[in-house]
Amino acid sequence: MSAFDYTNSASSNVLSRRQILKLGGAIAGASLLPAGLVRAQAAKRLRLAHPAPTEHGWHLWALEFKSQMETLTNGGVTVQIFPNAQLGGERDIAQAVRRGSVEMGGIGVGLSGWVPEMSITDAPFLWKTRQQAYNAFAGEFGDDLRKLSLDKGFKLVGWTDLGFRCMTNNVKPVLKADDMQGLKMRVPNSRAYIALIQALGASTVAVDLSELYLALRQGVADGQDTPAPVVKSTKLYEVQKFVSKTDHVLTTAYIVINPDAYAKLSDTEQAAFNKASKAADDHVRQLTVQQESESYTFFAANGLQVATDVDRESFRAKTASVLTGNPDLFPPKLIELANATAS
């Protein structure tokens, strides 16, 4: 009979002195468990959701962040990742983070539904170089957007470079801006992208990233514009015929955390969080530059007609009015800060 195996015997209702000593020893022993195990048992959990596949930059960011955060806190904070729209599309995830039902989320242009000024990072031909964008995000430009986001219930902690956008379609090669005329292009649910594509003479249909492959395969849209690494990671090359390296927007996706969830971290954990976020940003930025170059070679090898020698100035000229004509989306002050940032 074990120390806790009760029977119907008369003595079964009484713990012997030996049993009491064993029980006391077990309790005392629990207090002597290694500190790391105790921390693991009481670990704080951060759930990070995003709508993209596991090859996407959001997921690569999440994996690097998880590794860094759990290492820096010695397991005191764990990170659980939910990719592939397991918890919904961008808007669903944004709402969940804002409510606090999920701590963290990967969100792209969907964030502009709450913070219209975030559309500035989707302004056509805003940046001369990647480094100019990175410098702006780290400076006053980024500070303004962080404050605006926090006012709407999102703490902006990650700036994910997903790459310069390209144009893909199933109808014809696109070598200059006028070639966009008459195409039916998928756009994210964003006024900024709708204005951009319509300025080029194409019509638009709004489709979430998680539904884009099917929409292109079924002919809901002729084409779309996303960064080359995203075209590859989401396998859009399987349902498109032409790709043009227009580089019209440097796509910036965001990682946000619920402000209350962040506040519940200790000072040490917050320092680890900030360090892990920066490490994840740097990791994805390096990967994106490499993947961007490799993607166009991959497309050509997989049957797409690739145009890298595109008349980008024609695109710049035709979309210039998008910046000046939408001050609520592209605040002049933020454009000035972007232009004043060293490249």
pLDDT tens digits, one per residue of 212-259: 999 999 999 999 999 999 899 899 999 999 999 999 999 998 999 999
Q: Is the pLDDT of residue 149 over 50?
A: yes
Question: What per-residue confidence (pLDDT) applies to 55?
Answer: 87
Higher pLDDT, 118 or 5: 118
Report whether pLDDT(271) > 60: yes
Could you give the domains of the chain? 30-340 (3.40.190.170)
Cα–Cα distances (Å) from 89 to 51, 63, 120, 222, 263, in that order, read: 5, 19, 22, 22, 26
Tens digit of each residue's pLDDT (9 = 90 or more) over 192-214: 899 999 999 999 999 988 899 99
Six-digit token string for 54: 């596991």
Residues 6+ apart with CB under 8 A from 250: 121, 126, 127, 130, 133, 161, 163, 164, 165
pLDDT of residue 70: 98
Position 322 confidence tier, pLDDT thresholds 50, 70, 90? very high
**pLDDT tops 60 at residue 289:** yes
Are residues 229 and 57 in contact, defined by beta-carbon separation less than 8 angstroms? yes
Beta-bridge partners for 79: 46
> Taking residues 286-298, what's their average pLDDT?
94
50 to each of 9, 204, 232, 282, how far by Cα in Å? 59, 24, 18, 19
- Yes or no: say if 181 and 167 are a contact pair by the CB < 8 Å rule: no
Q: How many CB atoms lie within 10 A of CB 267?
A: 7
Structure tokens at 129: 């170089």
DSSP state of 13: G
- Mean pLDDT (whole number) for 133-141: 96
Dist. CA 96–CA 14, nearest whole Å: 52
Task: Reply yes or no on whether the pLDDT at 127 is more than 90.
Answer: yes
Q: pLDDT digit string (tens) for 162-191?
A: 899 999 999 999 999 999 999 999 998 888
Of 124, 116, 89, whose CA–CA distance to 320 is shortest? 124
Mean pLDDT of all residues belonging to the chain: 88
